[in-house]
Amino acid sequence: MPKSPKSSFSTASEPFVIVGCGFAGTSVLLHTLLRIADDATITSPVDIRLVERKEEQKHAGLAYGKAPEYKKHNLNIGAKRVNPFPAGMQPAGFPTFVEYIQDLSKKNPDMSVCLTNPPRQLYGDYLQHLVGLAIEKAGSKARVSYVMAQATKVAEHKNHTTITLDGGEKIKCAHVVLATGFQDALAPKFAAAAANSPRFIETPYSKSANDFFAHVCKHKNSDVLIIGTGLTSMDIAARLIHSGHEGKITMMSRRALMHKPYEDTPVEEYMASRLRGEPRPESELPFTKTPPAFMQATTVPGLVKSIVKEFKQLTRAGYTSEEIITYWERFVPQVAEKFPKQQLAQLFSKHDVLLTTNRVGVTPDIGRCVRQAMNSGRVQVVAASIQSIREVNGKMETIYTPSPAPENFIEKLASILNLKAQPATRVGTHDFVFSGMGNSVSFDPKKSVVRDPLWADLLENGKATPHWTKAGVAVTNGFSLVDAQGAASKGISVIGVPVAGHMTVTAYKYPERPGAGGRIGPTALNVAGITGATLAFLDQNYDRLMQPFRKPAPDAANKNKKAVAYITGRRLPSP
């Protein structure tokens, strides 16, 4: 592996290092450079280094990287909702994603469709463009370099932090931000026996997925099973259909929950308003003028009962689930302070998919494609629990149990009598299987295997501890890593996926919409959520991080204090 590069310039301190160059790491780099550019006190170049294990993920990550074929996967929202700058904080000379697409459309009018159905990789290109502008704006005040390697350990010392790479090399740094993002998706436990089959793939966003998609579509009448029914699964189905696959597609999950699609919207109408089906502005939603009734609940069962009742009332009044949950999620931090954390963690774990699928929809292209295929019978959505998947005689055998639903007289009778009748186990066979479980990451070694060697080391040695929500690890409000004894690190901060739980239940001043609050589940990890966390991190840490690169300003007040102390004979207190 390549050794960490030696700087060709002199700095006043060890480098500021960001581990991970996906959206979270790019967000930290981008906003740090912008502050450096406007910081008149910087007197020596700030050495910023980024450690990234995959070239195709540089400034794009797994979400917007170059691994999948270009334009094969879209974002799940329109271009106006993925701006890496909060409203009113767009730097001069830095385009929004909409302006970036519009500029491209001047040369290629066909690009205008990307406003309503933006390709994921196009957003990665946009982020690369912003980083280039930020580096140029910072000029000689900052130097940005890259180390293409896997970070395996991070250790804190008295006056510095050390990162160890997979080749054994070490980087001595003043401070490190861990922005490691999602791990590559894991095969579900029930599919462990199929993990090495050439007819099964763990993730649709890897390099190997391109060849797998091509092979499946070469057998265009093949029977395909997609594990899951969420956004990733819809993404897989849409890519298969767009790529010429004509066979049967089955999408299977425990509850068969799917994201609602936004409607096709002419570009002109979208620019003047929004995608049809997207949430309306809060000024048009009277129910947002008062706190939700469930805030009066005093127990977790009472909270659930109140939420269900109020949700039904609001949907009957014509409000969409996205409008309701988008407003409600700002109260999550208050709820987290009010009720027992263990009960809330169990509640969220049970209903996270339900919340997520009702919280955000999918772009018209994905929604139209999948819904049309469902209406024609070509795509079948099945509610079932899968017990196992394995390859048998050149076919993928799936053993599953339909989710409990009365299908015959005996089952209806059992449900009336509250008997736990188990639906019969069934066996299905398919030619190919895609795991659409989405990106996976685990930070609780007691529950499952932590694949990332860096996080495995931190957790095993008690330098990090799982967040109480079990979504990521515990950090302070300033995003400093917290160890198993509750002590905060001075040299290690964390941003993005590893602090998903903290971002969900903590109020920050940079929400997507007016007001403050957390963000529910995976929406904590979208562009607005991570951008808000980045700005909150810099608000609390920027001055401390930049101090080694600043020229000390004369402290006239302190000199006067010393003079008075000398004259009066008083002893100054220790600083």
Residues 382 and 354 in one domain: no
So what's the pLDDT on residue 90? 92
9 within some domain = no
Q: Give the dihedral sign, CA 443/449/455/456.
A: positive
So what's the pLDDT on residue 418? 57
Q: What is the mean predicted confidence (pLDDT) over 509-518?
A: 72
Q: SS3 of 217, please? A: helix
pLDDT above 70 coverage of the chain, percent: 86
Residues 428 and 478 in one domain: no
Total residue length of the chain: 575
Residues 282 and 430 in one domain: no
Q: What is the mean predicted confidence (pLDDT) over 24-48?
A: 96
Average pLDDT, rounded, for the chain: 86
554 within some domain = no
Domain boundary among 359, 380, 399: 359
Higher pLDDT, 177 or 204: 177
Q: Is the pLDDT of residue 186 over 70?
A: no
308 within some domain = yes
pTM over 0.85: yes
CA dist., res. 525 & res. 501, Å (int): 10
pLDDT above 90 coverage of the chain, percent: 65
CB-CB contact of 134 with 33 (8 Å): yes
CA dist., res. 220 & res. 488, Å (int): 55
Q: Is the pLDDT of residue 562 over 70?
A: no
Domain boundary among 359, 387, 420: 359
So what's the pLDDT on residue 555? 55
So what's the pLDDT on residue 557? 42
Residues 510 and 526 in one domain: yes
Residues 226 and 372 in one domain: yes
CA proximity to 394, closest of 193, 192, 197 = 197
Q: Is the pLDDT of residue 108 over 90?
A: yes
So what's the pLDDT on residue 348? 85
Residues 417 and 404 in one domain: yes
Higher pLDDT, 221 or 185: 221
Min mean pLDDT across 353-362, 390-399, 442-451, 517-526 is at 442-451
CB-CB contact of 218 with 350 (8 Å): no
Q: How many CB atoms lie within 10 A of CB 207?
A: 12
So what's the pLDDT on residue 470? 84
30 within some domain = yes
Q: How many CB atoms lie within 10 A of CB 423?
A: 17
Q: Is the pLDDT of residue 367 over 70?
A: yes
The tens digit of pLDDT for each residue in 284-340 reads: 999 999 999 999 999 999 999 999 999 999 999 999 999 999 999 999 999 999 999
Helices (H), 243-394: 267-272, 300-316, 321-328, 332-338, 341-359, 364-376
Residues 371 and 351 in one domain: no
Structural domain tally of the chain?
Answer: 3
In single-letter form, the type of residue at position 445 comes to P
So what's the pLDDT on residue 572? 35
Q: What is the mean predicted confidence (pLDDT) over 479-493?
A: 96
So what's the pLDDT on residue 2? 34
Give every CB contact of residue 456 below 8 A, 6+ residues apart in sequence: 445, 450
Q: From residue 508, how far is each of 39, 235, 331, 409, 537 by CA, in Å?
A: 24, 32, 12, 53, 10
Q: Phi/psi class of residue 119: alpha, beta or left (left: φ > 0; alpha: ψ in -120 to 50)?
A: beta
CA dist., res. 187 & res. 175, Å (int): 35
Q: Is the pLDDT of residue 118 over 70?
A: yes
567 within some domain = no
Q: SS3 of 232, please? A: helix
So what's the pLDDT on residue 444? 72
Q: SS3 of 566, please? A: helix
CA dist., res. 557 & res. 411, Å (int): 82
Count Cα atoms within 13 angstroms, Cβ side, for 400. 23
Domain boundary among 334, 359, 384: 359
Q: Give the dihedral sign, CA 319/77/511/514.
A: negative
| CATH code: domain of residue 536 | 3.50.50.60
Q: Quick one: which H or E segment has residue 391?
A: strand 379-392
Residues 211 and 81 in one domain: no
Q: Is the pLDDT of residue 23 over 70?
A: yes
Q: Is the pLDDT of residue 558 over 60?
A: no
Work out the burial of residue 575: count CB atoms within 10 Å of its CB; fewer than 13 is exposed, 13-18 middle, 19 or more buried.
exposed
CB-CB contact of 525 with 500 (8 Å): yes
DSSP-assigned states of every residue in 420-488: -PPPPPEEEEESEEEE----B----TTTS----HHHHHHHHTTSS-B-TTSSSB-B-TT-EEE-TTSPE
The tens digit of pLDDT for each residue in 383-434 reads: 999 999 999 999 999 999 998 654 454 555 555 555 555 567 899 999 999 9
So what's the pLDDT on residue 559? 45
In single-letter form, the type of residue at position 292 comes to P
Q: What is the mean predicted confidence (pLDDT) over 464-490?
A: 94
Q: How confident is the model at residue 575 (pLDDT cuts 50, 70, 90)?
A: very low
The tens digit of pLDDT for each residue in 231-244 reads: 889 999 999 999 99
Residues 544 and 452 in one domain: yes
209 is in which domain, residue-wise? Answer: 189-260+363-435
Q: What is the mean predicted confidence (pLDDT) over 253-268?
A: 92
Residues 379 and 496 in one domain: no
CA dist., res. 120 & res. 74, Å (int): 5
CA dist., res. 534 & res. 478, Å (int): 10
So what's the pLDDT on residue 259? 92
Q: SS3 of 196, please? A: coil
Q: SS3 of 50, please? A: strand
Higher pLDDT, 414 or 444: 444
CA dist., res. 522 & res. 356, Å (int): 7
So what's the pLDDT on residue 349? 82
Q: How many CB atoms lie within 10 A of CB 557?
A: 7
CA proximity to 282, closest of 513, 92, 22 = 513
